[in-house]
Amino acid sequence: MAQSIEQQAAYILHRRPYRETSYILDIYTLYYGRISVVAKGATRGKYNFSALLQMFQPLLLSWSGRSNLKTLTHAEAPSLAFTYISEQLYCAFYLNELLLKLTPESDANPALFSSYADALQGLKDRHKIEQVLRTFELALLRSIGLAPDFLFDTSSNEIQSNYLYLLNPEQGFSIVKSSNIQREKWNSLKGIKPIFEGTTLLQIGKGSLIEQTVQAENETDQKILLREAKQIMRILITYALQGKELKSRALFQSLKKGSECD
């Protein structure tokens, strides 16, 4: 018996042409996770709705079908689409690509859907792009079981703010040495090994990525937190991708070297 779903909150992650007048849509939904649907005849007739079926547009979608490829039966937009330019647009593409490549098909995760919607909203503020991306990356990694414990090390000891920790994506953080060293020495170390300050791990573990503008003591602390969080997420996401390339990252690198999405 064909399954029929009505007015499900969703976003389009990717759209590609199908035959002459249709699209195949990869969508992320509130209660059904990531699925694929075919929008038959989307570009023809009096009620052409191809303009509605765009990325970053909040949608209410209806579909039916037995197979993995469902048939779209109705679409409407409850609100205006998010519009971005330059780095914001590439970072939004990056979010979509992470969901496409790292989330299991048909795996419902309302919390991750909410995190994605929050990230799209957050990208509208150019001054918070790094914070928004790191927060979403962490939510995604936690949802697929690849986020390490930021409060306890691999020996089940509490993370200490005055120590340095080595990140192993498969195991977590292990203590390496006291961080009571000169900042210049730390700057030379960070380019060699995935070593991070205990203070950073504790801030991430306690939610300071989300409220970093409030909890960080000063602008320097904020920059350190976001810089190290970026390095941590890069290591973990690279491991999660298992060799898959991110086209959005390559595209943005061609536009601007050293971007927040990089």
Q: What are 37-43's contacts with CB under 8 Å, separation 24+?
A: 37/61, 37/63, 37/69, 37/70, 37/71, 37/72, 38/69, 38/70, 38/71, 38/72, 39/72, 39/75, 40/71, 40/72, 42/72
Q: What is the pTM assigned to this prediction?
A: 0.88
Ordered per-residue pLDDT tens for the chain, 262 residues? 568 999 999 999 999 999 888 999 999 999 999 999 999 988 886 556 788 999 999 999 999 998 889 999 999 999 999 999 888 999 999 999 999 999 999 999 999 999 999 999 999 998 899 999 999 999 999 999 999 999 999 999 999 999 999 999 999 999 986 555 544 454 444 454 699 999 999 999 998 776 654 444 566 678 888 999 999 999 999 999 998 888 887 776 666 655 556 6
Burial class of residue 157 in the structure, from the number of CB atoms within 10 Å of its CB (0-12 exposed, 13-18 middle, 19+ buried) = exposed
CA 1: distance to chain centroid? Answer: 35
* Domains annotated on the chain, with CATH: 3-76 (2.40.50.140), 84-262 (1.20.1440.120)
Residue 143 phi/psi, 5-degree rounding, is: -70, -30
